[in-house]
Amino acid sequence: MTAYITLNTASELSCLVISILCLYRDKDPVWRSFILFMLLTCLVELSGIYLRNRHLPNFMLYNVFLVIECAVLNYFFYHLFKANHNLKKLLTGWLILFIIFYFIELYVKHFNAYVSVSSTIVSVELILASVYYYYLLLKEEKFRQLWKDAPFWWVNGTICFYFAGIACNIFFKYLLQDKTPQASSANYIVFSVLNVILYSCWSYSFICRYFQRTSPSS
């Protein structure tokens, strides 16, 4: 049982609990959808550990989850950019192109490996969407208290995780290619810390959303 208790699973389960407590009565289905997404994230992580402990391949589990992850996160950005109709069309078009590329990569790899290139493309797109969100914030005339702004903290967690993840994959490829225990340990530690940052920011954004929703002035 202890094999399932890791820094990753602990941060994911904590985020799931906070999402349930803060979002289950939220009237916005986009925010409520994160309860289901976090539940699915936890199940995938635990299933991946189960398969790995039995020396079974788990790459297809993460391949399928990548599509769900891409759809959910882009759906949220779509929600954030709902006032910009041109950008909404761009996000929809990008999702279609991603699905086409995703299946091409699966075919090229004979459905027998993780779609790492597709994962990198998703990361780059999410980083660009996050940067554009910051750009819109700078252009806003309305004053925002960012320390309690739910979307701001959600985007913070997203860009930190995906930007740092790409940096690790590009500049520290030896962490993935070197099969020594030290390399595997370093790779695990780096991405575990990134997971904690991501789910801490998301958890805080859910808490901000809860107080925003329940505040008498809202």
Q: Is residue 49 part of a domain?
A: yes
Q: Is residue 85 part of a domain?
A: no
Counting the structural domains of the chain, the total is 1
Q: What is the token pair recorded at 125?
A: 């797109």
Q: What is the mean pLDDT of residues 75-93?
A: 81
- Per-range mean pLDDT, top range of 2-6, 59-63, 92-96: 59-63
Q: Which domain holds residue 102?
A: 2-80+90-214
Confidence band, pLDDT 50/70/90 cuts, at residue 31: very high
Confidence band, pLDDT 50/70/90 cuts, at residue 178: low
Distance between CA 34 and CA 153 in Å, rounded?
Answer: 14
Q: Is residue 9 part of a domain?
A: yes
Q: Is residue 57 part of a domain?
A: yes
Q: Is residue 124 part of a domain?
A: yes
* Residue-level pLDDT at 218: 52
Pair 22, 207: CB distance under 8 Å = yes
On the question of pLDDT at 3 being above 90, the answer is: no
Distance between CA 209 and CA 150 in Å, rounded?
Answer: 5
Distance between CA 180 and CA 54 in Å, rounded?
Answer: 21
Q: Is residue 197 part of a domain?
A: yes
Distance between CA 78 and CA 125 in Å, rounded?
Answer: 13
